[in-house]
Structure 1
Amino acid sequence: MKKTILTLLIVLCPVFTFASGYTHVTSTKSMNVSEKNDSAVHVFDTAEQMPSFPGGNQALLNYLYRNIRYPEAAVSQGKQGRVIVSFIVESDGSITEASIKQSVYPSLDKEALRLINKMPKWIPGKINGQNVRVCFSLPVEFRLNSEIQRQ
């Protein structure tokens, strides 16, 4: 890596914005057997208990900070911004079908996908006490240190 020190600031305040925008799904009836089978296939946008990273939001921030590798191609071109990645948290907590919903720059997009696909299992979402598949969006913020940008 170059001699310059790259300071990376990951800002995930929008995570809280996305999470607070979700409405909780409540049901007045229990899922019957056919609905339980359907919930294994169906992907929910919201759930009574939304999926969460083990250890909470601070643990998620720590994971991203420790594992992110700012691509040199993006550094050399001064590229930065927020990549939004959408993925499914499966009923067992695994992450599948990660895709870019808001692109910034190809190498930043690729790094955001790498981070998401490498994540440990999440605590799955639940409806009526049953684990369900839930779609989740996560913004990953890439910021260069202002000293590096001026060089």
Structure 2
Amino acid sequence: MIKKMLFVLALILKANISWSQEITVTKEEVIKEEIVPFPVLEDVPVFPGCEEEARNKKLTCFQEKLSEHISKNFNYPKEARKKKIQGRVSVIFVINAEGKIEIISTKVPEGCELLETEAIRIISLLPKMEPGKFRGETVSTKYLQPIIFNLK
């Protein structure tokens, strides 16, 4: 069981690759969008427990805490295990300007609806966070988190 969880955690960490592209966005574009893309934030959302981290370490801390949360709350659905259903569920969620989680959508292979339900449950349990900031203002931001279900 521990090996399975470590394997899933390793896959999740591998999937969370930081972007190192320079992106220029004007304040007017942000106001039109209402949801600021994660890569252009000046200050990423702060996961509880990451408050004391240096500004340049907060993204890494965010990703680590998110992976820990998924590992801790991960329960392979019994029916999916019985039917040997495996797959990757991508959950797109927003950390709104109040720091609350709002699930927008999921991307799931056909036949993996049981996995989708579990992925949504896990992300729905995320704690309230300090919201991200763009140009000094608190903003909502979108984040995509893949969760891999593997029976190995």
TM-score, length-scaled by structure 2: 0.71
Q: Tell me the SS of whatever aligns to 2:84.
A: coil
**Which protein is bigger by CA-based radius of gyration?**
1
Q: C-alpha distance in 1, partners of 2:67/2:22? A: 24
Q: Which of the numbers 84, 87, 92 marks the counterpart of 1:81?
A: 87
Counterpart in the other structure of 2:129: 122
Q: Which of the numbers 26, 45, 50 marks the counterpart of 2:44?
A: 50
TM-score, length-scaled by structure 1: 0.72
Q: Alpha-carbon deviations, 1:37-59, whole Å to 9, x = none? A: x47x8112242233353332222
- What residue ranges of structure 1 are gaps of 5+ in the alignment? 146-151
**Given residue 15 of structure 2, which amino acid in structure 1 is its aligned partner?**
P
Larger mean Cα displacement after TM superposition, 63-72 or 96-105: 96-105
Is the contact between residue 91 and residue 103 of structure 2 (CA under 8 Å) also seen in structure 1?
no
Counterpart in the other structure of 2:143: 136
Q: C-alpha distance in 2, partners of 1:89/1:137? A: 11
Q: CA deviation at 1:143?
A: 1.6
Is the contact between residue 98 and residue 113 of structure 1 (CA under 8 Å) also seen in structure 2?
no
Counterpart in the other structure of 1:65: 71
Q: Tell me the SS of whatever aligns to 1:138.
A: strand
**Given residue 14 of structure 1, which amino acid in structure 2 is its aligned partner?**
A
- What residue ranges of structure 2 are gaps of 5+ in the alignment? 51-60
**Given residue 44 of structure 2, which amino acid in structure 1 is its aligned partner?**
M
Q: Which has the higher helix share?
A: 2
What is the CA RMSD across the aligned residues, in angstroms? 2.6
- Percent identical pairs in the alignment equals 27
Number of residues of Structure 1 aligned to a counterpart in Structure 2: 130
Quick one: structure 1 residues 66 and 60, their matched pair in 2 at CA, closer, same or farther if it must change by over 3 Å?
same
